[in-house]
């Protein structure tokens, strides 16, 4: 152990020393990658698609609208290409093939591959087809693909690791307790995990003491909804892969969801009759933090209402969208804001601003308490 | 109040309905901005710089190396230009002028403007010159500039807002308690805040009960170091702007700092004799979370050691750097890692891997306990 550590330290030192020789800027170890100009992204067409699919252990295809011939459209498409080239460059050597599929020129290929929505990226990995329906930036795509290459299930042992699960309360999580990793029930759980990777993290424990702290019995599977303290247990264990997949799909849409760059379009389109309650709040801001804690109480109190969808947007996660939202909704995002977004139905649903909180009022004193929609009585 | 809310709701509804007419994709309200092809970034030169400085309420200049004539260098520079154009586009209408200063062609202009480090962006705002020394991505630059346009001091009232200050424990924070916003001592505090905006958030309270919860007396100024529970109080109040600036600079370098995209180079270059302890840990991962809590204990226990600098890097914040770090340091970033980075000195400093924790050992059982450098005895 010790000698391994020592050689590791030596290695670190050597690589850094060689860095210091070539860098006088003091930024050794921190060189942000720059585009190297090499073309790695393939143009997929009727001629090459079969061979590329066959030869690629992991294939990542951006299905895009045909750019057209206008100058602006060409520039936009060029920027999209560069973004994908940058991703391909930083993930070089990890066995991923990248390609572009044009919705007009390669319509037939897209159909054969099962690509449906332009602007989405489709990842073919083993027997799974994963759709990326998020922000098309190099940062977000790269993180998504790296998460997809990680193990589908993380193991939990001990109290410190359990605290992590509770700290990570802004996403859905699934936890299972199994005898060991060779158990057929664990295998079913792991297979189910692959269907949701990287959107929903799956955790497993094979440690009795850890399971006890989670109040779990052998082969139990729990779903933890974001922002709520009480997990839902699956009935009638042990479970098959299909049963677990069905269970997760059923509970997936939480009362309160945080909009994430990696699946923002998917979350947004998953509305209730065209309606979301949308709350803008910066968690790093005292105003926003306070507002958010009230929102969490509301979600917790209304967790059993299947007709309610609240989306929390932290503007810090979407700096490029801020001006757009401010203009579209006529609001100031330096302050927390809440409103009801309805794209299909006509009817006044209510809205208020954070300012109200400064007057010491509680959420249930406000318009929230009135029935904004049949079945939507919100009290904190 | 109510009628204001109602009209706000109506406005929301109207703008969204008009959206739904023009969009059939269900993505109304969530259109990620695309580059519109318009050129907004100016080329600063000996002819125009004086006029531009004079006419711009806020001026944002990227000081860059001359790209040279090679194909790759041209492509790289083009991508940098596009990044800045994207920032200029999404911040259009906010009164910011953007420009490029070439380190070779416009050497004299750069000198006159006080631009020193290529790769940095310099922002001229009122009487302040702010250096951006972070990741040159549209996302990071935009967030930085928006933070710079926010109020320099946030006000704190009530317990819920105080909880936010404690939750935000990964950055340095400064808090002051003043009689009211017209107090000359508050004005001095506000002026000092502008010197650190947006790097270090400043908070103030004018509420007696809130101040009491912070154990603060009138005109007290506190510095909260990241990851530690005990703030440092400034002695000999009340304080002038200069005294506050001096105090913050003195305490600015914390024992444990999180590397942030918005000032990564600045943090990295602020080493101790060329040395940092660098820890990679994903906070969202149970392994990483556990590792990080040990690291926080270490930092807390060693907070008075001025010769110690620990940098925590959450790989999730730097997806584009992961492959580079894995190759440079020969490590696997799917797991937590720690090492000592030394760019100027020769000497074995010790390093270990997360694996050790699985064996139930405590930090002080490990190599950490040995003296890695004079004065560096680390115990948790």
CB contact under 8 A, A143 and B6: no
Condensed to tens digits (0 to 9), the pLDDT of residues B120-157 reads 999 999 888 999 999 999 999 999 999 999 999 999 99
Q: How far is CA B357 from CA A9, A209, B13, B292, in A?
A: 18, 17, 54, 12
- Residues of A within 8 A of B7 (CB-CB) are none
β-bridge pairing B256-258 and B310-313: parallel
Q: Work out the angle at residue A287's Cα, subtended by the Cα atoms of residues B130 and A292, and round it to the nearest 5 degrees.
A: 120
B270 has pLDDT over 90:
no
- Tell me how many degrees the CA angle A144-A150-A154 measures, rounded to the nearest 5: 115
Same domain, A215 and A288: no
Quick one: B137 and B168 in the same domain? no
Residues A133 and A166 in one domain: no
Instruction: Please choose, from the candidates A143, A380, A134, A170, the residue with its C-alpha nearest in 3D space to the C-alpha of residue A281.
Output: A170
Domain that holds residue B197: 153-251
The pTM of the full predicted model, rounded to 2 decimals, is 0.85
In 3-state terms, what secondary structure has residue A273?
coil
Q: Token pair for residue B164? A: 């936010």
Q: Residues of A with CB below 8 A from B286's CB?
A: 154-156, 161-162, 164-165, 203
Interface test with A, best of B88, B139, B334, B345 (most A CBs within 10 A): B139
Tens of pLDDT along A270-326? Answer: 776 667 788 889 999 998 898 888 888 878 877 877 777 889 999 999 999 999 888
Chain-chain contact of B329 with A15 (C-beta, under 8 angstroms): yes
Same domain, B131 and B173: no
Q: Does A341 touch chain B (CB under 8 A)?
A: yes
**What are the two backbone dihedrals, phi and then psi, of residue B102, each rounded to the nearest 5 degrees?**
-85, 125
Q: pLDDT tens-digit profile of B299-345?
A: 887 787 777 788 999 999 999 999 988 887 777 888 888 777 764 43
Residues B144 and B222 both lie in one domain: no
Domain count along chain B: 3
Phi, psi of A193 (to 5 degrees): -55, -40
The sheet with strand B42-43 has its strands ordered as B42-43, B96-102, B58-64, B121-125, B128-132
The minimum CA-CA distance between B151 and chain A, rounded to whole Å, is 9
- The first and second tokens of residue B68, run together, are 């040279």
Confidence (pLDDT) at B229? 83
Structure-block tokens of residue B139 = 């996302």
* Nearest-angstrom CA–CA distance, B114 and B97: 18
Element counts in chain A: helices (H) and strands (E): 13, 15
Contact B16, B29 (CB under 8 A): yes
pLDDT for the residue B342: 61
Summarize pLDDT for A101-147 with one digit per residue, the tens.
999 999 999 999 999 999 999 999 988 899 999 999 999 999 999 99
Q: Which DSSP state fits B119?
A: T
Inter-chain residue contact A35 with B75, CB threshold 8 Å: yes
Is the Cβ of A218 closer than 8 Å to some Cβ of chain B?
Answer: no
Identify the domain boundary among A217, A251, A285.
A251
Residues of chain A with pLDDT under 50: 1-27, 343-380
**Mean pLDDT of the region B235-247:** 94
Decide if A351 is inside a domain. yes
Contacts of A142 in chain B (CB under 8 A): 319-320, 322
Residue B32 lies in a domain: no
Crossing angle of helices B322-329/A2-22, nearest 10°? 110
B80 in Cβ contact with B62 (< 8 Å): yes
Helix H or strand E segment including B165: helix B159-167
| Facing residue for B343 by CB, picked from A20, A75, A286 | A20
My answer on whether B231 and B274 are in the same domain is no
Query: What's the pLDDT band for B52 if we cut at 50, 70, 90?
Result: very high
Contact partners, residue A327, CB within 8 Å, separation at least 6: none
- Residue A125, strand partner residues: A58, A128
Q: Helix (H, G, I), strand (E, B), or coil: what is residue B278?
A: strand
Domain annotation covers residue B305: yes
d(CA A338, CA A352): 6
The predicted pLDDT at position B273 comes to: 65
Q: Is residue B120 part of a domain?
A: yes
Q: In angstroms, rounded to a whole number, what is the distance separating the alpha carbons of residues B132 and B119?
A: 9
Q: Distance from first CA to last CA of chain A, Å, rounded?
A: 53
Contact A290 B350 (CB under 8 A): no
Chain B (310-339) residues lying within 8 Å, Cβ to Cβ, of chain A = 316, 319-325, 328-331, 334, 339
Cβ of residue A271 closer than 8 Å to a chain B Cβ: yes
Nearest to A44 by CA among A30, A61, A29: A61
B267: its two tokens:
């943090």
pLDDT at B9 over 90: no
Of A351, A353, A357, give the one whose Cα is nearest residue A370.
A351
The encoded tokens of residue A255 equal: 């009362």
Closest to A309 measured CA to CA, from A234, A373, A244 = A373
The domain boundary, picked from A251, A286, A311, lies at A251
**Cα separation, A82 vs B36, whole angstroms:** 16
Helices (H), chain A: 2-22, 49-55, 71-90, 107-113, 138-149, 159-167, 184-196, 208-213, 241-252, 264-269, 286-301, 322-329, 355-358
Q: Do A357 and A261 share a structural domain?
A: yes
Output the pLDDT for position A241. 96
CATH of the domain at B281: 3.40.30.10
**What is the residue-averaged pLDDT of chain B?**
81
Is the per-residue pLDDT at B81 higher than 50? Answer: yes
CA distance A177 to A208: 8
Does the beta-carbon distance from A264 to B289 stay under 8 Å? no
Cβ pair A302, A360 in contact under 8 A: no
**CB-CB neighbors (< 8 A) of A353 in chain B:** 4-5, 8
Write the CA distances from A262 to A134, B141, B263, integer angstroms: 4, 20, 24
Q: What is the mean pLDDT of residues B219-224?
A: 96
pLDDT at position A28: 57
Q: Is B82 on the interface with A (CB under 8 A)?
A: yes
How does strand A202-205 pair with strand A153-155? parallel
Residue with tokens 């202009």, as numbered in its chain: B109
CB contact under 8 A, A154 and B287: yes
Q: Do A320 and B139 touch (CB under 8 A)?
A: yes
Structure tokens at B357: 């924790």
Question: Is residue B353 over pLDDT 80?
Answer: no
B138 touches chain A (CB under 8 A): yes
How much is the pLDDT for B145? 97
Higher pLDDT: B42 or A24? It is B42
Q: Which pLDDT belongs to residue B1?
A: 31
Chain B environment of A2 (Cβ under 8 Å)? 367
As given in the structure block, the two tokens for residue B363 are 């930090």
Inter-CA distances, A287 with A333, A353, B205, B254, Å: 12, 12, 13, 26
Chain B contact probe: residue of A2, A4, A11, A12 with most B CBs at under 10 A: A12
Q: Would you state the structure tokens that stand for residue A95, as one six-digit string?
A: 């066995």
B197 within domain boundaries:
yes
Judgement on whether residues A312 and A366 belong to the same structural domain of the protein: yes
Same domain, A130 and A193: no
Across the interface, do B293 and A163 touch by the CB < 8 Å criterion?
A: yes
Distances (CA, A) of B46 to B35, B87, B160: 29, 25, 53
Q: Is B14 within the bounds of a domain?
A: no
Q: Which of B202, B228, B251 is the last residue of a domain?
A: B251
**Residue A204 DSSP SS3:** strand
Residues B77 and B138 in one domain: yes
What is the DSSP track for B43-98? Answer: E--TTTHHHHHHH-SEEEEEEE----SSHHHHHHHHHHHHHHHHHHHHTTTSSEEE
**pLDDT computed for residue B43 by the predictor:** 96
Q: How many CB pairs under 8 A join A and B?
A: 296
Inform me whether the C-beta atom of residue B209 falls under 8 Å from chain A C-beta atoms.
no
Is 80 exceeded by the pLDDT of residue B22? Answer: no
- Beta bridge mates, A275: A272, A342
Whether chain B has a CB inside 8 Å of the CB on A272: the answer is no
Query: Do residues A116 and B289 touch, judged by C-beta distance below 8 A?
Result: no
Q: Answer yes or no: do B270 and B353 share one domain.
A: yes
Return the percentage of chain B with pLDDT > 90, whole number.
Answer: 54
Q: Do A329 and B19 touch (CB under 8 A)?
A: no
> Residues A121, A141: one domain?
yes
Q: Is residue B358 part of a domain?
A: yes
Residue B380 in any domain: the answer is no
């Amino acid at each position: 152990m010790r000698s391994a550590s020592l050689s590791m330290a030596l290695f670190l030192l050597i690589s850094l020393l060689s860095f210091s020789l070539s860098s006088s800027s003091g930024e050794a170890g921190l060189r942000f990658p720059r585009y190297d100009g090499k073309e790695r992204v393939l143009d997929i067409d009727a001629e090459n698609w079969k061979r590329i699919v066959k030869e690629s252990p992991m294939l990542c295809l951006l299905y895009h609208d045909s750019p057209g011939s206008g100058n602006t459209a060409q520039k936009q498409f060029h920027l999209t290409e560069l973004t994908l080239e940058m991703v391909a460059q930083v993930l070089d050597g990890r066995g991923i093939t990248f390609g572009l599929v044009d919705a007009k020129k390669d319509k037939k290929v897209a159909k054969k591959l099962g690509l449906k929505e332009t602007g989405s990226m489709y990842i073919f990995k083993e027997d799974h087809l994963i759709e990326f329906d998020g922000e098309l930036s190099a940062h977000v795509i790269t993180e998504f693909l790296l998460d997809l290459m990680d193990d589908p299930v993380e193991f939990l042992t001990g109290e410190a690791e359990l605290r992590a699960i509770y700290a990570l309360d802004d996403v859905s999580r699934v936890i299972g307790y199994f005898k060991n990793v060779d158990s057929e029930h664990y295998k079913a759980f792991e297979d189910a995990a692959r269907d949701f990777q990287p959107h929903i993290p799956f955790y497993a424990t094979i440690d009795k003491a850890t399971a006890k702290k989670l109040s779990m019995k052998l082969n139990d599977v729990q779903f933890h909804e974001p922002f709520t303290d009480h997990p839902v247990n699956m009935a009638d264990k042990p479970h098959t892969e299909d049963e677990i997949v069905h269970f997760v799909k059923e509970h997936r849409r939480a009362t309160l969801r945080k909009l994430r760059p990696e699946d923002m379009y998917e979350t947004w389109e998953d509305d209730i009759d065209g309606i979301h309650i949308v709350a803008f709040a910066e968690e790093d801001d005292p105003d926003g933090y306070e507002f958010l804690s009230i929102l969490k109480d509301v979600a917790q109190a209304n967790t059993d209402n299947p007709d309610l969808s609240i989306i929390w947007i932290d503007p810090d996660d979407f700096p490029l969208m801020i001006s757009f939202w401010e203009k579209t909704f006529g609001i100031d995002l330096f302050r927390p804001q809440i409103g009801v977004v309805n794209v299909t139905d006509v009817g006044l649903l209510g809205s208020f601003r954070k300012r109200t909180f400064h007057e010491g009022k509680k959420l249930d004193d406000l318009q929230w308490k009135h029935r904004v929609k049949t079945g939507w009585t919100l009290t904190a």
